[in-house]
Each structure stands twice: as structure tokens, then as C-alpha cells.
Structure 1
Amino acid sequence: MAKKKQLGYEESLHKLEEILNRVEHEEVPIDQLTELVNESMELLKNCKSKLKGAETKVEEAFNDLED
């Protein structure tokens, strides 16, 4: 099975906004809503991971300046 391409932060955020807009403005069947919630959770995890990675890199950069 092929591995899914890891989305960037901006791509994930954009997909989350699209899902939110769809849920807010369309009638989404409950089965599809469950799928959208699951997809949203994965996108949120990805965003959190990207932000944590960026935070770590910034902290490392500042720590290098102090040395």
C-alpha cells in the first residue's frame, strides 16, 4: 500500500477550512460527517506536528545564538 503524501502546514490548514465551510454551509450525511471529522483530526495532528517542529527549530536557533 502506498504511503500518503505528508501535507504541509498551509495545505492542511486550507483543507481544514474547506471541511469547516462544507459542514457549516451544506447538509452533510452523518456517514460522510464522520469521515470528515476523522480527516479533520488527522489534519489537526499534522498541523500540531508541523508547529511543534517549527517551535523546536526556533528554540534551537536561539540556543545556538546564546552559545
Structure 2
Amino acid sequence: MEHQTPFSYDQAMKRIEEIISQLEQDDRGIDELAVLVKEASTLVKNCKQKLRDTEDTISKAFEED
């Protein structure tokens, strides 16, 4: 079984902000832009899933009462 590092929503959001800042600079080559956009896309997908999972956990917690 593969060992995964725990996903930190806050760290992912910070990294997304860093990427956005880098993308706003005009001195990036197309290859670097592609890598940054792909990384940001993956982080956004992970954050969305984390939010859905958290919402489900909270909903289930209230259903049990």
C-alpha cells in the first residue's frame, strides 16, 4: 500500500496563490507556464475534493444526533 502525505488544504491554497503570482509575471516561458497551470489545476481539484469530503463529514456528524 502506498504511503501518502496528509493533504493540507491551507498549504495547497498558499501554493495556488504563489502560482497565481508567478503566472501574473510576464517573464515565464511557455513550458514553465504549462507546468505551473497543471500544478495549480491539480491543487484546485484536490481542494474541491477536500471541501466535499469535509462537507460530507459534517453532514454525517449532524445526522447521527
TM category, shorter: 0.7 to 0.9
Equivalent residue pairs, number? 64
Q: CA RMSD in A?
A: 1.9
Q: Tell me: higher relative CO, structure 1 or 2? Use CA pairs within 8 A at least 6 residues apart.
A: 1
How far did residue 49 of structure 1 move?
1.2
Moved over 2 A (4+): 2-7
Matched, 1:28 2:28: yes
TM-score (norm 1): 0.82
The residue number in structure 2 matching 1:47 is 47
Identity %: 33
Stretches of structure 2 lacking an aligned partner (at least 5 in a row): none
**Are residue 18 (structure 1) and residue 26 (structure 2) matched?**
no
